[in-house]
């Protein structure tokens, strides 16, 4: 379903955290598995907004802190479909 979204997210994450590129997989959790710091997760949210032309509400940003890549992708897809 959201393969294209997942691929773009993975690219954006690798751009932010190149040294962890091996850990960037669809089912990996952003913070505890990929190792993004909270600042980097917020960076990612901004980059995602720019890449897809969407706006992710603040309340969701807090909840996305330790989402998996797939969960984030589903979230992005919902906003794209809305």
Partner 1 sequence: MSPEEQFPETVQGLLRRAAETHAGRGIVFVDEDERKYTWAEIESLARGLASGLQARGGVPGERVAVVCQGLRAQVTAFFGTIIAGLHPTILPTPISRRRLEGFVRHTSQIVSVAQPRFILVDEPVKEVGEPLLEEAGMRGRCEVERFEELPADADLLEPYEPDPDTIAVIQFTSGSTSAPRGVVLTHRSVTANVRAIVEHLEVVADDVGGGWLPLYHDMGLIGNLLGATARSIGLVLTTPFNFLRRPRRWVEIMERQRITITAGPNVSYRHLLERGEPEGKDLSAWRVAIIGAEPIDPELLDEFSDFFGRVGFPKSAFMPAYGLAEVGLIVTGIPATGVYDSIEVDRGILEEEGKVVPATESRTSVRIVGVGGCVRETAVRIVDELGDERPEGRVGEITISGASLMQGYFNNEEASAEALRDGWLFTGDLGYMHDGELYVTGRKKELIIFQGRNYYPQDIERAIQSIEIVRPGSIVAFGTRRDKSEGVVIVAAPKDARNTSGIEAGVREVVADRLNLPVLDVILMESGRIPRTTSGKLCRGRCRDLYEEGNLT
- Nearest to partner 1 of 42, 51 (CB atom): 42
Please say whether the dihedral angle defined by the alpha carbons of residues 57, 62, 67 and 69, taken in this order, is positive or negative: positive
* Residue 80 interacting with partner 1 (CB under 8 A): no
Q: How far is CA 77 from CA 7, 25, 30, 37, in A?
A: 13, 18, 18, 24
36 binds partner 1 (CB under 8 A): yes
Q: Which one of residues 7, 11, 37, 80 is an interface residue with partner 1 (CB under 8 A)?
A: 37
Question: Shortest distance, CB of residue 73 to partner 1, whole angstroms?
Answer: 18
Q: Is 43 in the site for partner 1 (CB under 8 A)?
A: yes
């Amino acid at each position: 379903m959201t393969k294209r979204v997942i691929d773009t997210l993975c690219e954006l994450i690798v751009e932010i955290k190149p040294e962890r590129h091996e850990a960037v997989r669809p089912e990996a959790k952003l913070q505890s598995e990929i190792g993004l710091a909270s600042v980097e997760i917020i960076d990612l949210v901004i980059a995602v907004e720019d890449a897809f032309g969407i706006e992710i509400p603040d309340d969701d940003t807090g909840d996305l802190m330790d989402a998996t890549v797939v969960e984030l992708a589903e979230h992005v897809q919902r906003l794209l479909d809305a």
